[in-house]
Structure 1
């Protein structure tokens, strides 16, 4: 598509704030090696207006589209990384400098956007400002998580984008699409980091079947996204239109172009695009901003508690994640998120069709040394007669007797909650939670009261979740003005557990039914959930 790109120059005067700024336009062709500083795009006039590069400036609709992105962030930042592998270190809003508790002057945002070496136009207007405010003030915890995940995913994206000679800034699209969650699944059925629909994924050559969904494969889905973006650029020759078409489809962009009299400029067809797409390009620009100026907003990456340096193994025979986990001592949950494309914890590899397995780099030598043991471990259980045993779909039905003798707790749904989170917090199955509350398709709403049945005597303990923040619930932190209420007998029987790399109180508690992270804290006199260290011995209550 693009051995050559168009270079555009726009003369813009930002009245009263910036001097006239010359920032791009002629019709000459230029190579990929063109000096990006000379190719910066920044088209700005007034706060609510955008210079379209032609003869006039026009006003954008006065609408705040950032709430759509806020809802998307809340629903999509829910991978195993976020639930278990990250220790949230929230910088309280009250501890922020006063200058960062509100939007900065427009001139600051404009100047910073101009300083980003971007081949894609980073325009600025009120809609862009709303998204920057969302990322830097309203959704700080989610942004910290994405900054941490970016350390793992962005090198993958950049290598592939560079391979296809595409602007590396396109990596920020994955933030808008999936919040860097490879398991993100939209209500419309789009899946993966790049949110491909089933038909689009198949069209782009991704394998999608009962065992494998390459829409969730970071490498292959990015390859497919790069090819698709390349095709879209061949159609439109304008990156804003390409980004918009990726979101809503070329058909909707073509309609918007026709309805605006043939204009081929995103800001001129803005009115005629679907509402979500109107916010898509501004959200992209804001994502580019926050990823480049996170430090200036006191946003530091929430790093995962496991080593994100990985290696890839070629597999030529059927393999179950539990075999790898048991022999190499890698948590199954980690294998799932390093290899999200495998839907049933099974790699359906054969000699004729090998597949890849991604593992922590420090486990590569172990795999090579113990490869025969890995494949032999419980082989007859997982693959009798060398055939895949298809896990039967499990439907759980419960009767009133299932809750006999348990405490009944009511939990009010908060923003950012989902069925999976709540089930994890209360140590119940998601199927139970759905059954007790007649929940269909995991749909819950903010303010909805859910009933949860917990072990006898622990009702007061679990009621605390109603007064905790999302970050506290995810990390196991107890509000300072609360007392841990538990029925654990600190002098009673217990077992010893040795903390391993990557463990936290939450993941350890999950290994022992009926035991919560608060129980472990009380039994071991732990006041700081982040104080665990590998090799530490913990008492696990056996009478909880």
Structure 2
């Protein structure tokens, strides 16, 4: 972590010394681009079509990147890396630090746990370095530099970032044995990796020539959004919000590495705050008694208490509660005094970031709604989806945890329905309309193939069997 802090302070100095040729961050990125790859490959053209005349995607890129893009760009410059690498978080996570894949990858750079450990990213109950903007960016560039040293080819390095170096090396050896080329385009790689590199190349081309694709890229100022502030000790993040005058939500957006209501008592001892607020905050912080920055309570064990019940009450990890009280086993006694952190009640609301679910083959709005105990209508609103349309595999679905218990699926009517098929209907549309699994509709009506329905056909919906 100390290494990343040094790099961060170096960036503040060295980037200011680099001639910024544009007030617009995108203009600066364009002038620094070095990738010169063939763009007429079918897979790149396929990705370019997604951007053509698609202003929504470009607006989302600018909106999501406004807090973090300047930092990923400036770090690439300081390390003499291609500036194009600074755009990888958009491909990985759409610059969402809370994004989590089905494989458990997390953060804007989507590190899985094993790679995070290799790159010395810390993870515990308090803190996840994969979501820390400064730490994860440093780790990602370290890793990409290492991969480039291994392959001496940026496309192969980027592919290895996605698929892992073992897979890339294996395919290179296979091609060498067959006397075949070993460039990225010639390797037999996973479907995801085959699309991953073209996605980046297409994005680079659109940013380089937006008018060519009938889009306008919203202005982003070519200056830092945040500044690093050194902390004397563990700090309650609500105190940070109070001192800085910022909403707590903003504190978490800039410091997504912190999992709980306070920073990790064992570090990192820094937070990120918007430029212009950081200096004033530092002055106030330096004149504040460290004991006021985080508070601990004493708890007197009552009859029937367990470490588990106390941990749940105070929103603290069970193992951590044992550790801070020096317990070697789970035994506690009535009237025994424990030390517990004063975890405030607001933590659940602010840490209830949406879960991210990626659609798998066979998924439907109904099956996803059932899986997360929400309604199809909720999914439609949260994700701006038409419930009657098919879900494409790998579509990103947002699910808000605070609704899991608060919102119950609407009760299904008890009456059976004889539904007349209309023009344009399909089994999946009927399934989504009534919130019934398509498999049940097929079974109730002895339909062997979901494509074998026609206008005027009567479909029985045995809703009474669902209650």
TM-score by length of 2: 0.57
Q: Which residue of 2 aligns with 1:361?
A: 275
Q: Which residue of 2 aligns with 1:61?
A: none
Pairwise mapping of residues 84-95 of structure 1 onto structure 2 (< 5 A)?
none
On the 8 A contact 2:122/2:128 being kept in 1, the answer is yes
Question: 1:120 & 1:386 partners in 2: Cα distance?
Answer: 60
User: In structure 2, the residue corresponding to 1:337 is in which secondary structure?
Assistant: helix
On the 8 A contact 2:39/2:45 being kept in 1, the answer is no
Q: Is 1:429 matched up with 2:344?
A: no
Match of 2:60 among 118, 126, 145: 145
On the 8 A contact 1:173/1:284 being kept in 2, the answer is yes
On the 8 A contact 1:317/1:349 being kept in 2, the answer is yes
Question: 2:434 & 2:219 partners in 1: Cα distance?
Answer: 30
Question: 1:327 & 1:115 partners in 2: Cα distance?
Answer: 40
- Residue-by-residue CA offset, 1:330-381 (whole Å, 9 max, x unaligned): 101000011111111311246xx55111112232343234324596668546
| CA RMSD between the two structures | 4.1
Question: 2:241 & 2:378 partners in 1: Cα distance?
Answer: 37
On the 8 A contact 2:100/2:107 being kept in 1, the answer is yes
Question: 1:374 & 1:435 partners in 2: Cα distance?
Answer: 46
User: In structure 1, the residue corresponding to 2:40 is in which secondary structure?
Assistant: coil
On the 8 A contact 2:296/2:341 being kept in 1, the answer is no
Tell me by how many angstroms 1:220 deviates.
1.4
Pairwise mapping of residues 444-483 of structure 1 onto structure 2 (< 5 A)?
448=432
Pairwise mapping of residues 159-308 of structure 1 onto structure 2 (< 5 A)?
159-260=74-175, 261=178, 263-269=181-187, 272-294=188-210, 297-301=214-218
The change in CA–CA distance for 1:308 and 1:334 in structure 2 (over 3 A counts) is farther
On the 8 A contact 2:234/2:294 being kept in 1, the answer is no
Question: 2:219 & 2:31 partners in 1: Cα distance?
Answer: 26
User: In structure 1, the residue corresponding to 2:130 is in which secondary structure?
Assistant: helix
Tell me by how many angstroms 1:115 deviates.
10
Question: 1:223 & 1:319 partners in 2: Cα distance?
Answer: 24
On the 8 A contact 1:314/1:354 being kept in 2, the answer is no
Question: 1:302 & 1:186 partners in 2: Cα distance?
Answer: 30
Tell me by how many angstroms 1:199 deviates.
1.1
The change in CA–CA distance for 1:388 and 1:286 in structure 2 (over 3 A counts) is same
The change in CA–CA distance for 1:250 and 1:355 in structure 2 (over 3 A counts) is same
Question: 1:450 & 1:197 partners in 2: Cα distance?
Answer: 38
Q: Which residue of 2 aligns with 1:10?
A: none
User: In structure 2, the residue corresponding to 1:347 is in which secondary structure?
Assistant: coil
* Unpaired runs of at least 5, structure 2: 1-29, 300-337, 353-373, 386-394, 412-427, 436-467
Tell me by how many angstroms 1:247 deviates.
0.7
On the 8 A contact 1:413/1:448 being kept in 2, the answer is no
- Residue-by-residue CA offset, 1:425-452 (whole Å, 9 max, x unaligned): xxx93222575489xxxxxx9985799x
Match of 1:329 among 226, 234, 245: 245
User: In structure 1, the residue corresponding to 2:218 is in which secondary structure?
Assistant: coil
Tell me by how many angstroms 1:177 deviates.
0.9
User: In structure 1, the residue corresponding to 2:114 is in which secondary structure?
Assistant: helix
User: In structure 2, the residue corresponding to 1:362 is in which secondary structure?
Assistant: coil
Tell me by how many angstroms 1:146 deviates.
1.2
- Residue-by-residue CA offset, 1:58-88 (whole Å, 9 max, x unaligned): xxxxxxxxxxxxxxxxxxxxxxxxxxxxxxx
Q: Is 1:411 matched up with 2:383?
A: no
Q: Which residue of 1 aligns with 2:26?
A: none
Tell me by how many angstroms 1:256 deviates.
2.5
TM-score by length of 1: 0.49
Q: Is 1:131 matched up with 2:47?
A: yes
On the 8 A contact 2:159/2:168 being kept in 1, the answer is yes
User: In structure 2, the residue corresponding to 1:346 is in which secondary structure?
Assistant: coil
Question: 2:343 & 2:121 partners in 1: Cα distance?
Answer: 22
Tell me by how many angstroms 1:209 deviates.
0.9
User: In structure 1, the residue corresponding to 2:68 is in which secondary structure?
Assistant: helix
Question: 2:74 & 2:231 partners in 1: Cα distance?
Answer: 24
Tell me by how many angstroms 1:178 deviates.
1.1
User: In structure 2, the residue corresponding to 1:160 is in which secondary structure?
Assistant: helix
The alignment of Structure 1 onto Structure 2 pairs a total of residues equal to 310
